[in-house]
Amino acid sequence: MPQTPVVADGGRAERTERREKKADDRRDELRAAVTTILAEKKLPMTRKELWDALPDGLRVNEVLFKEVLLEGVGSEWEREGSQGGGFKYRSIGG
C-alpha cells in the first residue's frame, strides 16, 4: 500500500507558491494596463501620470508598479530622457 508523503514544512511551500503566482498575476495585470494606457493616450506620460491612470484595483503597490514599468522598457514601451521633469514613457511605435 503506497504511503502519502508527510509534508514536513506544514504547507509552507504551497503557500509560497500561491503567493508567487499571485504576484506574477499582479505583474501581468499591471503590464497589460500600462500597455493599454500608453496605446490609448498616444502621448508620452510620466510615471505619476501612468500611476494615476491605473484602475483603482491596480493602484495598490507602487514599488511593484515601478519594477514592472522598468522591466517593460525596450520591449513593451520606451522611456524618453529626463530634463528635470522626470522620464516619460510611450508606447513603442506610438
- Of the candidates 17, 19, 51, 21, the residue with the CA atom closest to the CA atom of residue 34: 51
Per-domain residue ranges for the chain?
A: 12-91
Average pLDDT of the chain is: 87
pTM for the full model?
Answer: 0.76
Residue 8 clears pLDDT 80, i.e. is over it: no
pLDDT more than 70, % of the chain: 87
Span 38-76, pLDDT tens digits = 999 888 999 999 999 999 999 999 999 999 999 999 999
Cα dist. 41→75, 81, 87, 94 in Å? 18, 19, 16, 9
Distance CA 58, CA 38 (A): 16
Query: Is CATH 3.40.50 what the domain over 12-91 is classified as, yes or no?
Result: no
Residue 35 clears pLDDT 60, i.e. is over it: yes
